Amino acid sequence: MTRRFFRPAPRLRGTLVAPPDKSLSHRAALLAAMSAEPVRVTGYLHAEDTHSTLRAVEALGTLVQERPDELVLRGPGLRNAAEPEGGAVIDVGNAGTLIRLVTGWLAGQPGGGTWTLDGDASIRARPMGRVVEPLRGLGAQIEARAGGLAPLVVSGRALTGAHYDMPVASAQVKSALLLAGILADGRTSVREPAPSRDHTERLLLRAGVDVRREGDVVSVGCHDELELEAIHVPGDPSSAAFAVAAAVLVPGSRIVVEGMAANWTRVGFYRILERMGGVVVGPLEAPGGPLAADEPVCELDVSHGPLVATTVEPDEVPLGIDELPLVALLGCFAEGETVVRGAQELRHKESDRIATVVDGLRGLGADLEATPDGFVVRGTGGLEGGVLEAHGDHRLAMLGAVAGLASRAGVEVVGMEAAAVSYPGFVEDLAGLTGS
């Protein structure tokens, strides 16, 4: 386990090229594999999670060519996913997006075939019933371990479109159903209790699928062949959020973030940050517009600002779910009480992020407590520092690093290697901005 010390930073200055987006990289590889013709993917994220996806699509019959500036994927097409040689298990590693989305695709393979999907200890503890149950509603045959846990055994078969009312907003569940839906007879629709990231819908629209959003319902029709020649993956707002939070917290900082996805379903954190007094200037996509096929990109100019507390309401949660640990950290520095409500989903991430964030920040001197669906943070104007355990969770490791830069005494992160799941260049990028 790597222990790494992050000392208080005098300030952050410079330009961060946002690392490639993890959510979009998973989808780019999967949809490329599902396409009839070769697909060029530029800007693909080279990290542990997204390498799991490349290995998975290879096992399903995709030829992946790695060229200096792009990947070329020649997949088996929508209805011809291969069974891995010798019935090998497909290892998704730590990637929740991969296991949930690929299950939708494989469940609808009309020519049969059986696939076993498994992952690390964290994946085996995360709820899979949330995709298995609704896919069964389309006629899918999927076996899970007791309690709806991985490994999953998926048998391909012809599916019939259906409607599903999602009890919690989850882009992974929605995407699994839409991918199965394009293989199913008739229409498949999903109602979301609140908007969640819409990358799958945008890519399907670009690929020629009849995908519609009407109010809170997204639906797809049965489709023959996906047509995608090239996909560009923009920068990841969730990864960039760590340097952005550090720049807002450390006095005298000013950074520019380049090439970041500005999709309104991904930038909830940036709106929360502005509300708290962080100075973020840049053209984020306006919320709630009609479904678009493109992924807008923006440049942000971020500087330090005195922070005030805020309340994050349940309908904002899916738009910034992965950044809520950073909201807890910002709350430590803000004047007043910062509250996050309706975020019980945090308990089902790579770690129980309500427990690990609250324990982790408390260990650094923060005044905060867990609630069943979020946390309450009392701002004390700063943070002392200490040791933070990452619990194998990439976002927690990076949270500890940012806390260290903004703290009085520095933070030692235990398990820093977890950052490689989504952001292998994280420590180097931070060092570039702090000049250390």
Q: Which of 322, 352, 359, 393 is catalytic?
A: 322
Among 179, 321, 366, 413, binds ligand S3P (CB under 6 A): 321
Asked whether position 172 contacts ligand S3P by CB under 6 A, the answer is yes
The type of residue at 31 is L
Closest separation in Å from C-beta 97 to ligand S3P: 4
Q: Are residues 90 and 119 in contact, defined by beta-carbon separation less than 8 angstroms?
A: no
User: Quick one: which of 114, 82, 117 has its CA closest to 97?
Assistant: 117
Q: Name which of residues 220 to 279 contact ligand S3P (CB under 6 A).
A: none
Stretch that binds ligand S3P, among 169-177, 204-212, 213-221, 227-235 (CB under 6 A): 169-177
Closest separation in Å from C-beta 316 to ligand S3P: 13
User: Quick one: which of 172, 194, 209, 188 has its CA closest to 137?
Assistant: 188
Among 48, 83, 295, 322, binds ligand S3P (CB under 6 A): 322
How many whole angstroms separate alpha carbon 382 and alpha carbon 414? 22
Q: 259 vs 318, which CB is nearer to ligand S3P?
A: 318
Asked whether position 133 contacts ligand S3P by CB under 6 A, the answer is no
Query: Who contacts 52 (Cβ-Cβ below 8 Å, separation ≥6)?
Result: 91, 92, 93, 94, 95, 98
Site string for ligand S3P, 191-230 (x = CB under 6 A): ------x---------------------------------
How many whole angstroms separate alpha carbon 386 and alpha carbon 220? 50
**Number of other residues whose CB lies within 10 A of the CB of residue 95:** 28
Q: 304 vs 391, which CB is nearer to ligand S3P?
A: 391
Q: Name which of residues 89 to 108 contact ligand S3P (CB under 6 A).
A: 97
Residue 283: cis peptide before it, omega within 30 degrees of 0: no
Among 9, 11, 23, 264, binds ligand S3P (CB under 6 A): 23
393 in catalytic set:
no
Question: Contact residues for ligand S3P (CB under 6 A)?
Answer: 23, 97, 170-172, 175, 197, 321-322, 345
Q: What residues are annotated to the active site?
A: 322
